[in-house]
Structure 1
Amino acid sequence: MATDEAADWATASCSLPIGEQPLRIAEFDRLFAGSARRSVRVSPTRLDVSLAASAEAAACDLAAREVQCCSFFNFEFTSADSAVVMSIEVPQSRIDVLDELTSRVRTVGGQ
């Protein structure tokens, strides 16, 4: 998915200034491209992404900043062996956003 396409769904769901949204999307893309090991859609409202343990600090920082502009997201982190699982939850009304995020993880993460 091209960044322009991602910006289309992000714009409707995010209070981050429009000019900063592509930069945030690129941050998620870099995180997923460099660290995502696998992803599992646990339920319609939850996605678990297994990341390299070395990415935990960057992922936590990015998640904290994302919640500031998109308060409907809930991120939780769980350590598992040499990985960290980033659980991403949204309310039922925001499943479309999680669908797009799932697609991005699988596309840029090579899954």
Structure 2
Amino acid sequence: MQIPPASTPIACDMTHARDTPGERLAEYRRLFGRAVRERTATGVRFRFAAGPGIEEWVRDLAAREKACCPFFGFEITVEGGEVLWDAAVPDTAAARAALEDFFALG
């Protein structure tokens, strides 16, 4: 996973998003309600059972989030019947706080 440089602004711009902040938050709650969460050496991981449509949903949501919050580094993989969503941020206080908020969604 490529983690953006520390100089990347820690800001979210949903100006061109197809959803609103409230809709995005509700979608995260629906998706992350299915996840097992864990911390990794570089960030956090969400594990999902690889049921119908889950990988596509995770990839779509990650792409939309990356478009508005470029300070996140995301990697989605599938292994052993699970979809894994890894997330990491630059090593700054603001970025780490945003990652903690992200980890707590759901």
- Partner of residue 43 from structure 2, selected from 40, 43, 46: 46
The TM-score, its normalising length taken from structure 1, stands at: 0.72
| Matching residue of 1:26 | 26
CA distance in 2, matches of 1:49, 1:41: 9
- Report 1 or 2 for greater relative contact order, CA contacts < 8 Å, sequence distance ≥ 6: 2
> Structure 1 vs Structure 2: percent identity of aligned residues?
33
| Matching residue of 1:8 | none
Asked if structure 2 preserves the Cα contact closer than 8 Å seen for 1:13 and 1:97, the reply is no
Unaligned residue ranges in structure 2 (runs of 5+): 1-9
Deviation at residue 13 of structure 1 after TM alignment: 3.0
Moved over 6 A (4+): none
Deviation at residue 32 of structure 1 after TM alignment: 0.8
| Matching residue of 2:12 | 14
Aligned length: 90
Deviation at residue 53 of structure 1 after TM alignment: 0.9
Q: Which has the higher helix share?
A: 1
